[in-house]
Chain A
Amino acid sequence: DVKVTQSSRYLVKRTGEKVFLECVQDMDHENMFWYRQDPGLGLRLIYFSYDVKMKEKGDIPEGYSVSREKKERFSLILESASTNQTSMYLCASSSGQGHTDTQYFGPGTRLTVL
């Protein structure tokens, strides 16, 4: 079974803090994604990566950056957290063998910015 893990289930930070969210997958997947999920809205793509050291902006990259130094690990960074970044953050991975391959999700990190 594919396993995607995220470093924290719940996180509370203060405005202006730098925040790191870590995601690790154990299936040698090429593709990794970061989404945020807010009530009443669909998942929104923040950034994705098709290979080590590669990153692409999604629909809402502002205020975020990412890092993929190793194939299995994809980090989301909030340079200076703001209250409007309070959300559920979901990481996903897919094999990359086909364009339409299934995305597998981690359990999510619920971030609260005070």
Chain B
Amino acid sequence: GQNIDQPTEMTATEGAIVQINCTYQTSGFNGLFWYQQHAGEAPTFLSYNVLDGLEEKGRFSSFLSRSKGYSYLLLKELQMKDSASYLCAGMDSNYQLIWGAGTKLIIKP
């Protein structure tokens, strides 16, 4: 079956670095997406990886290893506004997104 696993909740300190992991099993693979969702709001796109390696975008970076079925989202210089849920989604051979349940990130001062 198809499955996306990510931790339910993580806590980090303002100014620190946090890594949110995601493992995926999809029928075929057409890339891995990360979205951010603040409480009560719409998910917003953060990153898309389809090749192995690290993609950096300001304070946020996303990594993919296709051989391991693994991705992570790295957030640097954490700010209070980064408190949100982070959703990992894999795209299968039919170009459908398979979504994880999301990781709630709590930032403490």
Contacts and interface: CB of A to CB of B under 8 A. Distances in A.
B45 A43 contact: no
Given A99-B95, A100-B30, A42 B41 contact: no
Overall SS of chain B's interface: loop
B42 A45 contact: no
Interface stretch (B13-21, B66-74, B98-106): B98-106
B42 A108 contact: yes
Nearest to A59: B96
25 contacts: A40-B101, A41-B101, A42-B4, A42-B87, A42-B89, A42-B98, A42-B101, A42-B102, A43-B43, A43-B89, A43-B97, A45-B96, A45-B97, A99-B30, A100-B30, A100-B31, A100-B48, A100-B50, A100-B91, A102-B33, A103-B97, A105-B44, A106-B42, A107-B41, A107-B42
Contact of A104 (B31, B33, B45): B45
Nearest to A58: B96
Give 5 nearest A-B pairs by CB, closest first: A42-B99, A105-B42, A43-B99, A99-B95, A102-B45
A76 interface: no
Contact of B45 (A44, A45, A103, A108): A103
Contacts, number: 46
Which bracket fits the contact residues of A?
10 to 19
Interface in B44-85: 44-45, 48, 50
Given A105-B42, A107-B41, A108-B42, 7 more contacts: A4-B42, A40-B8, A41-B101, A42-B89, A42-B98, A106-B42, A108-B41
Q: Which of B31, B42, B91 has the most C-beta atoms of chain A within 10 angstroms of its own C-beta? A: B42
Interface residues of B, number: 24
Interface in A77-114: 90, 99-100, 102-108
Nearest to A110: B40
Interface string A1-35: 00010000000000000000000000000000000
A105 B48 CA distance: 16
B43 A105 contact: yes
Contact of B95 (A58, A100, A106): A100
